[in-house]
Amino acid sequence: MDMQHRIRQLFTDSIETKTRAMDVLGPSIEQASQLMVNCLLNEGKILTCGNGGSAGDAQHFSSELLNRFERERPSLPALALTTDSSTITSIANDYSYDEIFSKQIRALGQPGDVLLAISTSGNSGNVLQAIQAAHDRDMLVVALNGRDGGAMTSLLLPEDAEIRVPARSTARIQEVHLLAIHCLCDLIDRQLFGSEE
Ligand SMILES: O=C(CO)[C@@H](O)[C@H](O)[C@H](O)[C@H](O)COP(=O)(O)O
Ligand SMILES: [Zn+2]
């Protein structure tokens, strides 16, 4: 195998996926940022969830809100539902893996909060149940997904936001999810605290 060739191919695929995504995702990223800003201005918080690499993305986003993104500003309220191993293992053990996020949302979610639900396939059962629980708690949902949106898309309400990456590969979709997360952080900071220039 020519590894240099393979590396260039992966970079090219990622760049092309991002270019395609840039052409279609602008409006939905803007809408998602406004939905999150409204939530934060109304004393709400953002709960996040996902599996595998998307669990990492959920934590990445919540830490950027809780700590900071690119500038000094007050902490913002966000919580990743992927980190409490005692809670997650007991829910999975006693009930089912599909309920690991939804049971936390039914306890912690308040009307006006936002759920950031991340799934490249849009078909992970625990993320789907999380969306249902969020709606039951009168929360709005920002969905980060890909491909055809999966079952996630049909669960979303008109007032939710869907950032659906036009790609098929899980890895490529995840790479755009991280960029979308950084766009959201940038837009949230600018809407809440103004432009730095
Ligand atoms: O990071 C990767 C692949 O890049 C994997 O860990 C991946 O996140 C896992 O297979 C997830 O379980 C996939 O779930 P989903 O994105 O379909 O909801
Ligand atoms: Zn990955």
Q: Nearest to residue 118, comparing CAs of 164, 171, 186, 183?
A: 164
Could you tell me the domains of the chain? 37-193 (3.40.50.10490)
Do the interacting molecules here have an ipTM over 0.90?
A: yes
For residue 90, the CA-to-ligand 2 centroid distance in Å is: 26
For residue 52, the CA-to-ligand 1 centroid distance in Å is: 5
197 pLDDT above the threshold of 70: no
- Position 1 scores a pLDDT of 86
For residue 108, the surrounding DSSP H or E stretch is: helix 102-108
121 pLDDT above the threshold of 80: yes
Q: Which letter, b or e, does each residue of 99-138 get, where b requires 16 or more Cβ atoms within 10 Å of its Cβ?
A: bbbbbbbeeebeeebbbbbbbbbbebbbbbbbbebbbebe
d(CA 149, CA 32): 16
Q: Among 60, 88, 100, 120, which residue has the most ligand 1 atoms within 8 Å of its CB, making it the best to mutate?
A: 120
* pLDDT tens per residue across span 34-54: 999 999 999 999 999 999 999
Q: Which atom of ligand 1 is nearest to the CA of 174?
A: 4
Question: Once rounded to an integer, what is the mean pLDDT over residues 75-101?
Answer: 98
pTM over 0.80: yes
Tokens at residue 76, please? 């913002």
For residue 136, the CA-to-ligand 2 centroid distance in Å is: 31
Angle at 119 between CA 113 and CA 121, to 5 degrees: 145
- 78: Cβ contacts below 8 Å, ≥ 6 apart: 45, 46, 47, 48, 61, 62, 65, 66
Look over the chain and give the mean of its residue pLDDT values, rounded to a whole number. 98
Intra-chain end-to-end CA distance of the chain, in Å = 48
